[in-house]
Amino acid sequence: MELNNTITRSEETGETSRPAPTKKVFIKTYGCQMNVYDSQRMTDALTTDGYAQTEAIEDADLILFNTCHIRERAAEKVYSELGRLNKLKAERASNGREMLVGVTGCVAQAEGNEILRRSPVVDLVVGPQTYHRLPQVVKKARAGEKIVETEYAIEDKFEHLPKLEKAAVRSRGVTAFLTVQEGCDKFCTFCVVPYTRGSEVSRPVSQIVAEAERLTEAGVREITLLGQNVNAWHGEGPDGKEWGLAQLLYRLAEVPGLARLRYTTSHPRDMDVDLIAAHRDLASLMPYLHLPVQSGSDRILKAMNRKHTADEYLRLIERIREARLDIAMSGDFIVGFPGETDEDFEATMRLIREVNYAQAFSFKYSQRPGTPGADMKFQVEEHVKDERLQQLQALLMQQQHAFTASRIGMEMNALIEKPGRKPGQIVGRSPWLQPVIIDENVAQIGDIIKVRIMSAGPNSLYAEPA
Ligand code: SAH
Ligand code: SF4
Ligand code: F3S
């Protein structure tokens, strides 16, 4: 199906005109940036199909929950939210106005039919690999069918991306996310992603470059390349050679108007020499790297199937810091993986002290059905997980505040993103992802200006033009 046949694009503004929308869609997004990006694309596809986006759930003809299955709590939240729609749907039925409810994302993929069984309010279930079929699925659901669309052929995998790409180019401010890779072949024993997102697939270079050019033409200055294992991205370059993420970054650095590049999330095993060198060579590659390690204990790392030791991770970070002195590290941690002892946990605390993170995310281990970890012996008691998480987060918080405070007195570039809350104020972004608040209206949105940091909050920086 052609999605863009009714769209015309104005050369000056990048704005689109399309037939007047007759219905409204509300999308609520859970989980990671992949879902944020997918929600945007689903909105694009559906607006092309005559749906206008609404922020008011009571006002919607189509309600979509784009869900996350990563931890138990994330998945359960969806069911309780669905439960709350029963009343609204009954009201609608009584006054004859349509209301369709759909579940997309990773819970859709993992639980499929089970969702219809648990939540009769749901009309359609669509997994991440089949979003290109969403408009047809909605049509069928409007005709009264209940549909579960989670089966896909491997060739389908990136089908939804090029198809939806033809939908309108819309400016999403001065920063944008661009998916370059999907899926995961790593099979960490705690994780559902390889099951919900399927195996690793990389988008071709030409598509990525074209989309980056389109985004920058629409005013985007900073692009974050996205993938579950973004540094596993590979593809054939225009030179006929096999490219990795490093070569892709060098190419994207040449896109006119594109001032800043980032990528997330990476796996330590896919940080190769070329990628480390790119951090040294490319000024537009921002000095901030999210490189999850999960644990500092070799025993636990092995049980998690991470395929590297704590020492290998530390040496990797050393090499990255040699290449780019001012790089700030971010990570993910899990406490209470099955079999984790006090000593294992201490090893994680030691690793954190050694790395000194600018930011990090940490979670209590959550047993996920279908993953090897769920069946492992020696599950850790909840109160132990709670205590460990508290300790670990206190340390990470301390490091984060110290990092923010260490920016005081520095001169740095800020990319101006939006007006501030107070009149005359503008808000930018530091190279290390911190919001930078400037009290004078000295620049336009999209400008990159030099500022001096005068003070710092827990995460924000307060600056004057330098
Ligand atoms: N592909 C990325 C991110 C995966 S999900 C990576 O490999 O790092 C994001 C984070 O959620 C993980 O890094 C991990 O810290 C956490 N996570 C995943 N499964 C989990 C589980 N079963 N319980 C608790 N945390 C989990
Ligand atoms: Fe999950 Fe591991 Fe794959 Fe990351 S690398 S998505 S944690 S299986
Ligand atoms: Fe969640 Fe799926 Fe992302 S499980 S973290 S939404 S890939």
Residue 117: give its domain's CATH number: 3.40.50.12160
> Cα(292) to centroid of ligand 1, in Å?
8
Output the pLDDT for position 322.
98
For the chain, give percent helix, strand, coil, nearest 5: 40, 25, 40
**Rounded Cα distance, 245 and 249, in Å:** 6
203 lines ligand 3 (CB under 6 A): no
Report percent pLDDT > 90 for the chain. 80
* Ligand with minimal distance to 228 CA: 1
Structural domain count, the chain:
3
* Ligand with minimal distance to 30 CA: 3
How big is the CA angle at 207 (ends 221 and 284), to the nearest 5 degrees?
A: 30
Structure tokens at 280: 């040294």
**Rounded Cα distance, 185 and 2, in Å:** 32
The verdict on whether residue 394 carries a ligand-binding annotation is: no
Output the pLDDT for position 165.
47
371 lines ligand 3 (CB under 6 A): no
Output the pLDDT for position 458.
86
Q: Are residues 176 and 125 in the same domain?
A: no
CB 169 within 8 A of CB 9: yes
Output the pLDDT for position 45.
84
Q: How, if at all, do strands 100-104 and 124-126 pair?
A: parallel
Q: Which residues contact 347 (CB under 8 A, 6 or more apart)?
A: 295, 296, 297, 298, 310
Q: Name which residue leads in pLDDT, 243 or 75.
A: 243
pLDDT band at 460 (very low <50, low <70, confident <90, very high): very high
pLDDT band at 159 (very low <50, low <70, confident <90, very high): low
Q: Residue 370: left if φ>0, alpha if ψ -120 to 50, beta else—which one?
A: left
Specify the CATH number for the domain of residue 444.
2.40.50.140
> Cα(294) to centroid of ligand 1, in Å?
8
Q: Which residues contact 242 (CB under 8 A, 6 or more apart)?
A: 234, 235, 236
How big is the CA angle at 51 (ends 48 and 54), to the nearest 5 degrees?
A: 125
Q: pLDDT tens, 306-337? A: 999 999 999 999 999 999 999 999 999 999 99
Q: Are residues 52 and 189 in the same domain?
A: no
CB 292 within 8 A of CB 191: no
Q: Which residues contact 290 (CB under 8 A, 6 or more apart)?
A: 264, 265, 266, 330, 331, 332
Query: Which of 32, 68, 188, 195 gets mutated to test ligand 2 (max ligand atoms within 8 A of its CB)?
Result: 188
Answer yes or no: is 308 within a domain: yes
In which domain, by residue range, is 171 found? 166-405
226 lines ligand 3 (CB under 6 A): no
193 lines ligand 3 (CB under 6 A): yes
**Residue type at 375 in one-letter notation:** D
Output the pLDDT for position 368.
96
pLDDT band at 7 (very low <50, low <70, confident <90, very high): very low
Over 60: is that where the pLDDT of 169 sits? no
Domain boundary among 154, 178, 212: 154
Mean pLDDT of the chain: 90
Over 50: is that where the pLDDT of 104 sits? yes
pLDDT band at 171 (very low <50, low <70, confident <90, very high): very low
CB 225 within 8 A of CB 218: no
Specify the CATH number for the domain of residue 345.
3.80.30.20
Output the pLDDT for position 181.
92
Answer yes or no: is 7 within a domain: no
> Residue 364 CA: which ligand 1 atom is closest?
24
Residues in contact with ligand 2 (CB, 6 Å cut-off):
184, 186-188, 191, 193-194, 228-229, 267
Q: Are residues 250 and 387 in the same domain?
A: yes
* Number of neighbouring beta carbons within 10 Å of residue 94: 8
Give, using CA atoms, the residue closest to atom 1 of ligand 3.
68
C-alpha dihedral, 314 to 430 to 173 to 180, nearest 10°: -20
Structure tokens at 127: 């997994």
* 237 phi/psi in degrees, rounded to 5: -75, 165
Output the pLDDT for position 166.
37
**Rounded Cα distance, 152 and 199, in Å:** 12
Output the pLDDT for position 49.
82
CB 149 within 8 A of CB 126: yes
436 three-state secondary structure: strand
The verdict on whether residue 439 carries a ligand-binding annotation is: no
Q: Decide: residue 153, CB within 10 A, 0-12 exposed, 13-18 middle, 19+ buried.
A: exposed
> Residue 74 CA: which ligand 3 atom is closest?
1
Instruction: Please give the average per-residue pLDDT across 382-395, as a whole number.
Output: 98
The distance from CA 62 to its chain's CA centroid, rounded to whole angstroms, is 24
71 lines ligand 1 (CB under 6 A): yes
Q: Are residues 241 and 217 in the same domain?
A: yes
> Cα(188) to centroid of ligand 2, in Å?
5
pLDDT band at 17 (very low <50, low <70, confident <90, very high): low
Structure tokens at 22: 């007759």
- For the chain, the first-to-last Cα distance in angstroms comes to 53
59 three-state secondary structure: helix
Q: Are residues 118 and 173 in the same domain?
A: no
Output the pLDDT for position 132.
84
Q: Name which residue leads in pLDDT, 248 or 129.
A: 248
Strands (E), 122-280: 124-126, 147-149, 175-179, 181-182, 201-202, 222-226, 234-236, 242-244, 260-264
Q: pLDDT tens, 252-274? A: 999 999 999 999 999 999 999 99
* Ligand with minimal distance to 368 CA: 1
Give the DSSP H/E element, type plus range, for residue 34.
helix 33-48
The distance from CA 384 to its chain's CA centroid, rounded to whole angstroms, is 30
> Cα(185) to centroid of ligand 2, in Å?
8
Instruction: Please give the average per-residue pLDDT across 86-105, as a whole number.
Output: 92
> Cα(361) to centroid of ligand 1, in Å?
9
Over 50: is that where the pLDDT of 162 sits? no
- The closest alpha carbon to 268, from 315, 235, 200, 208, belongs to 315
Answer yes or no: is 159 within a domain: no
State the chain's maximal CA–CA distance in angstroms: 67
Report percent pLDDT > 70 for the chain. 91
Answer yes or no: is 3 within a domain: no
Q: Are residues 37 and 79 in the same domain?
A: yes
Answer yes or no: is 296 within a domain: yes
Q: Are residues 367 and 438 in the same domain?
A: no
Answer yes or no: is 306 within a domain: yes
Q: pLDDT tens, 429-451? A: 999 999 999 999 999 999 999 99
Structure tokens at 383: 């109160």
Q: Which residues contact 36 (CB under 8 A, 6 or more apart)?
A: 29, 177
Q: Are residues 280 and 257 in the same domain?
A: yes
Answer yes or no: is 1 within a domain: no
The verdict on whether residue 89 carries a ligand-binding annotation is: no
pLDDT band at 154 (very low <50, low <70, confident <90, very high): low
Q: Are residues 294 and 190 in the same domain?
A: yes
Structure tokens at 57: 């759930």
Q: Are residues 150 and 42 in the same domain?
A: yes
Domain boundary among 373, 390, 405: 405
Q: Are residues 240 and 341 in the same domain?
A: yes
Q: Are residues 193 and 329 in the same domain?
A: yes
Domain boundary among 123, 154, 185: 154
pLDDT band at 187 (very low <50, low <70, confident <90, very high): very high
Over 90: is that where the pLDDT of 216 sits? yes
CB 128 within 8 A of CB 104: yes
Least confident of 118-122, 153-157, 442-446: 153-157
pLDDT band at 168 (very low <50, low <70, confident <90, very high): very low
Answer yes or no: is 8 within a domain: no
397 three-state secondary structure: helix
Task: Encode 354-393: b = buried (16+ Cβ within 10 Å), e = exposed.
Answer: ebebbbbebbbbbebeebbbeeeeebbeeebbeebbeebb
